[in-house]
Amino acid sequence: MQTLRFLVTGGSQGIGSAIVELARAGGHQVVFTGRNESLIEKLAQKTGAHGLCADVSSGDDNARTVEACRQRMGGVDVLVNNAGYAYRAEIGDLDVEAMKKMFDTNVFGLVDITNRVVPLLKSQQRGDIVNIASTSGMKGGATGTPYGASKWAVRGISQCWQAELRPHGIRVTCVCPSEVQTNFGGKAGRNNPNKLHAGDIAATIMAALAMPRRVLWPELAVFANNPWKED
C-alpha cells in the first residue's frame, strides 16, 4: 500500500489508538483527535502521530482539525470516523436529552467532519472514508434504543455516501464490530483472549484499505470466532 494520510477521530484510546498505531507502523502519516490530553500526548509520543484535543460534536474543533491536516500533511486520504460513545436506557426511562447529546457525537459530529473532508477527497478524485458503526446497529437489543439507533443511522448514512461518492473514486466502508475488549463505556479489565481486541478491528480496516481501488467492501461485521471459550 502506498503511503497515505490518515485522520482518525476518537484516536486516543481503544479501537482508535489501535488504528493510529497500525497506520504509523505501516509508514503512514496520521493526525488523530481525542478529548483526553494525557492520552493524546502519550500516544503521540509513542507513535509519532500528531494528536489534537478536539471534540467532533464541535464545528469549530472540526474546522481546526481539518486545517491541521492541511498544514501538517497537505490533505487527507483516509478519514476514520471512530469517535463515539454509548448511552443506553430502557424505553420508559430514557433521557431524551442524553440521547440527543450522544447523537451530536455519534451521528452529527461524524457528518460534520466528513462534510469538511469530502471536498479534499473530491479534489483528488480518490480517498477512503471508514465509519465505525456496531453490530448494535444491525440487530436491536434491550436498552439499545439510543446507542443502537445512532449506529443504525451511521449504517444508513454510509450507504448514502457510497451512492454519492463512488463516482468520485471515494470508497466508503462501514465497519460493525461486535464486543471489543477496550475501556469503552468504562468497562476495563476484560481480558478473555478469545474475544475481539482493538487491534483486530484495526487490522480489518487496514486490510480493506489495501484492497485494489476497484474493490469496495461496503459493510463489514466483525465477530470473535469463539468468544465463549475460556483459556
pLDDT tens digit string along 55-94? 999 999 999 999 999 999 999 999 999 999 999 999 999 9
Strand extents, DSSP E, 15-169: 29-34, 50-53, 78-81, 127-132
- DSSP state for residue 135 in the 8-state scheme: G
Per residue in 180-213, pLDDT (tens digit) is 876 555 444 456 778 899 999 999 999 999 999 9
pTM metric for this prediction: 0.94
Per residue in 96-132, pLDDT (tens digit) is 999 999 999 999 999 999 999 999 999 999 999 999 9
87 has catalytic annotation = no
Q: Exactly one of 147, 152, 161, 184 is catalytic; which is it?
A: 147
pLDDT above 80: residue 54: yes
Q: Average pLDDT over the chain, rounded to whole?
A: 94
Q: Which of 195, 191, 194 is nearest to 179 (CA)?
A: 195
What domains are there in the chain, each with its CATH number? Answer: 5-222 (3.40.50.720)
- Three-state DSSP at 49 gives coil
pLDDT above 90: residue 230: no
What cell was used for 45? 509520543
What cell was used for 3? 503511503
pLDDT above 70: residue 12: yes
Residue recorded with cell 449506529: 151
Q: Which of 170, 176, 6, 152 is nearest to 80 (CA)?
A: 6
